[in-house]
Structure 1
Amino acid sequence: MPVMPGAEPYHHAGGPVGVLLCHGFTGSPQSLRPWGEYLAGAGLTVALPRLPGHGTTWREMNHTRWEDWYAELDRELADLRGRCTEVFVMGLSLGGCMALRLAEVHREGVRGVVVVNPSIANDVPLLKLAPLLKFFVPSVPGVAGDIKKEGATELGYTRTPVRAAATLPRLWALTQAGLDGLTRPVLVFHSPQDHVVKPTSVRILREKLTGGNLDVVELADSYHVATLDNDADQIFAGSLEFVRAHASVPLQRD
């Protein structure tokens, strides 16, 4: 299946500190490419994979499940851990959920987590019907492109594949259940004006991560896809500062 121009994965071989970037549901690496390039420019080794079924057609995505997307990220994380001294995971929206899940599963294998408008709860009424809707309709209107910045666009699907969406509740449940055991530092960038993900997810993170390892930064001038929005520079610089604060080795090669 041909990949949409601009939706290609991005990789950069840098120093001993690695970062795995996880794009969102029905999105593509394009939404995180500027972030990845910024971190690469600071000397980090960066992996930004294209998740199965993404960046092609929503019809192809309907043949994939959350386990397929997570497995791809898990493979990339294993590769980074084999090449780097330590690795951070970062993600947008559902990619933020999977970044958190990776940290829960791998524990000491992940140095820290940065998420932007993470989706870890089933708070969209239409998605709650997905397990039933999948038997009647193949897709519903898409959620891509929630950006405040004039002229900025996200390369994502205009339709949401219902069969793929119907697999999400299990991922959300597993991620929420594992939060109590997550001790690595977590930085959350949150847009109060988000038309895709409701505040429920950040509220859950505040309730579950009570060990002093959570910081939440509000993005005053962005919508959901904040990595392409007016506050993108704040996210990029803040995530790099987070890595520098928590990495135990220099970012650049000697």
Structure 2
Amino acid sequence: MKDLLFEGYRTPVLLLHGLRGNPMELSTLAQRLHSAGHTVSVPFLPGYGQFSYDMTQLVRSEAWEEMARDRLAQLVERYGPAVAGGICIGADLALRMAEQEPGSVCALLLVSTTLYYDGWGLPSFRWLLPLVGPTPLRHCYTLREKEPYGVKNARVREWIARQMEITGTSAAGARDLPLAAIHEAYRLMRRVRKGLPTIRQPALILHAAEDEIASLRTPSLLAARLGSSCVRKFIFSNSYHMLTLDNDRDAVARVSVEFLNQLAQAEQPAARCLA
């Protein structure tokens, strides 16, 4: 899977795909941001993401953070301080970068952030996952993705299902999610939740009202606990978890562009709320 890089003349943006996902999840958003003038980087993170015929072994969540910071450093070295964003666990990684590298991250784009696995589409035994995860059993079990694949749009859902059947992966992520990956995600979520009050960058929170992976508990927590004085939250009514692929994808891109435009126009964006 190739990284995506669109060079522009405005503030650079680093977008991170979801767990066992790939840059295709964010290609539409990346192109819209680039059309607005931004340099946009959407890297593939091996050992965290997955693509067709990828045999890379899953690595620990600390390594996910290290890879994300390396990609941020490369972007900042060439283009200057960047907006950090992502979808699902990719948004969690963006939050960790904002906490750990405050001089390199100037704002946050948080799409379908997942700080709890508590959506309506998860299996009824999900409450057992944090208990089983720390045991060796995490290496023995895999959860298979099933409809709706994070997508409310029926045509897009059919396309994703065909991709998964043929290649084992899709624009919405991999067909199979190892329990070990879920365990590492839980570990990352705990670190992110703990650090929220120390994060000062302006943040845009984008979430679906019917997100089947992460309920509205996550965006509510972000809005309440982020240390930034500039937090803007949008809840979309016509999509599921994969906001960047679903019915509201154009609105997600539009709101993201508008948010960054408003930040650019503000003399002291970190001290102002754009809501």
Q: TM-score range by the shorter chain?
A: 0.7 to 0.9
1:117 aligns with 2:119: no
Deviations 1:115-153 (A, max 9, x none): 111012354525323223635624122378210112213
CA distance in 1, matches of 2:23, 2:35: 17
Relative to structure 1, the CA distance from residue 210 to residue 71 in structure 2 (aligned partners, 3 Å threshold; closer, same or farther) is closer
- The aligned counterpart of 2:226 is 209
Deviations 1:210-241 (A, max 9, x none): 65322110111110001001111111111111
- The aligned counterpart of 2:236 is 219
- The one of 150, 154, 159 equivalent to 1:150 is 154
Q: Which amino acid aligns with 1:146?
A: G
- Percent sequence identity is 27
- The aligned counterpart of 1:24 is 18
TM normalised by structure 2 equals 0.80
Asked whether the equivalents of residues 115 and 214 of structure 2 are also in contact (C-alpha less than 8 Å), the reply is no
- The aligned counterpart of 2:89 is 94
CA root-mean-square deviation: 2.3
- The one of 158, 170, 177 equivalent to 2:187 is 170
Q: Which amino acid aligns with 2:104?
A: G
Count of residue correspondences? 243
1:131 aligns with 2:125: no
- Cα displacement (A) at 1:246: 1.5
Asked whether the equivalents of residues 61 and 164 of structure 1 are also in contact (C-alpha less than 8 Å), the reply is no
- Secondary structure of the 1:98 match is helix
Relative to structure 1, the CA distance from residue 181 to residue 135 in structure 2 (aligned partners, 3 Å threshold; closer, same or farther) is closer
Q: Which amino acid aligns with 2:177?
A: T
- Cα displacement (A) at 1:60: 3.9
Asked whether the equivalents of residues 146 and 195 of structure 1 are also in contact (C-alpha less than 8 Å), the reply is yes
Relative to structure 1, the CA distance from residue 131 to residue 245 in structure 2 (aligned partners, 3 Å threshold; closer, same or farther) is same
CA distance in 1, matches of 2:230, 2:107: 10
1:186 aligns with 2:186: no
Higher relative contact order (CA 8 A, sep 6+): 1
- The one of 7, 20, 24 equivalent to 1:13 is 7
Asked whether the equivalents of residues 145 and 176 of structure 2 are also in contact (C-alpha less than 8 Å), the reply is yes
Asked whether the equivalents of residues 90 and 114 of structure 1 are also in contact (C-alpha less than 8 Å), the reply is yes
- The aligned counterpart of 1:159 is 176
CA distance in 1, matches of 2:137, 2:265: 47
Range that drifts further, 17-26 or 102-111: 102-111
TM normalised by structure 1 equals 0.86
Relative to structure 1, the CA distance from residue 51 to residue 127 in structure 2 (aligned partners, 3 Å threshold; closer, same or farther) is farther
- The aligned counterpart of 1:80 is 75
Relative to structure 1, the CA distance from residue 148 to residue 181 in structure 2 (aligned partners, 3 Å threshold; closer, same or farther) is same
CA distance in 2, matches of 1:78, 1:210: 23
CA distance in 2, matches of 1:198, 1:14: 35
- Secondary structure of the 1:18 match is strand
Gaps of 5+ in 2: 119-125, 161-169, 267-275
- Secondary structure of the 1:224 match is coil
- The aligned counterpart of 2:45 is 51
Relative to structure 1, the CA distance from residue 13 to residue 217 in structure 2 (aligned partners, 3 Å threshold; closer, same or farther) is same
Range that drifts further, 123-132 or 72-81: 123-132
